[in-house]
């Protein structure tokens, strides 16, 4: 163990002061200090912005998928209705042709 001389104690005190200053600076960088935003609050804010953008994109994607599904359903129903209508018109025309032939 080193001898406790004035020089040694002074060196230890300086070393502890530097360590304390380093920890204070690191705290300021991470959590923010006077007139300064820290890294952690900044990253939390950015992650919330990214989350909001992702939610908006997912909502748009879901909305578009529902809209396309609705269009397909409407077109399918209209196609079915037109098919039934033309089938009945064709049957009616055939019935008239049968009546005119007799």
* DSSP-assigned states of every residue in 59-73: HHHHHHHHHHHHHHH
What is the per-residue pLDDT for 2? 61
Radius of gyration of the chain (CA): 40
Residue 16: pLDDT band (50, 70, 90) is: very high
Residue with the bigger pLDDT between 7 and 22: it is 22
Distance of CA 57 to the CA centre of its chain: 6
Q: Is 95 left (phi over 0), alpha (psi -120 to 50) or beta?
A: alpha
Whether the predicted pLDDT of 20 surpasses 80? yes
What is the per-residue pLDDT for 37? 85
The rounded distance, in Å, linking the Cα atoms of 90 and 88 is 5
Whether the predicted pLDDT of 1 surpasses 60? no
Q: Which tens digit of pLDDT belongs to each residue from 51-101?
A: 888 888 888 888 888 888 888 899 999 989 999 999 999 999 999 988 888
């Amino acid at each position: 163990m080193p001898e406790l001389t004035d020089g040694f104690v002074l060196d230890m005190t300086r070393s502890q002061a530097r360590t304390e200053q380093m920890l204070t600076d690191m705290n300021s960088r991470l959590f923010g200090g006077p007139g300064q935003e820290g890294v952690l609050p900044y990253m939390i804010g950015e992650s919330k912005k990214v989350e909001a953008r992702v939610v908006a994109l997912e909502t748009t994607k879901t909305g578009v998928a529902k809209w396309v599904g609705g269009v397909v359903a409407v077109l399918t129903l209209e196609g079915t209705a037109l098919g039934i209508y033309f089938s009945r018109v064709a049957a009616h025309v055939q019935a008239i042709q049968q009546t005119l032939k007799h």
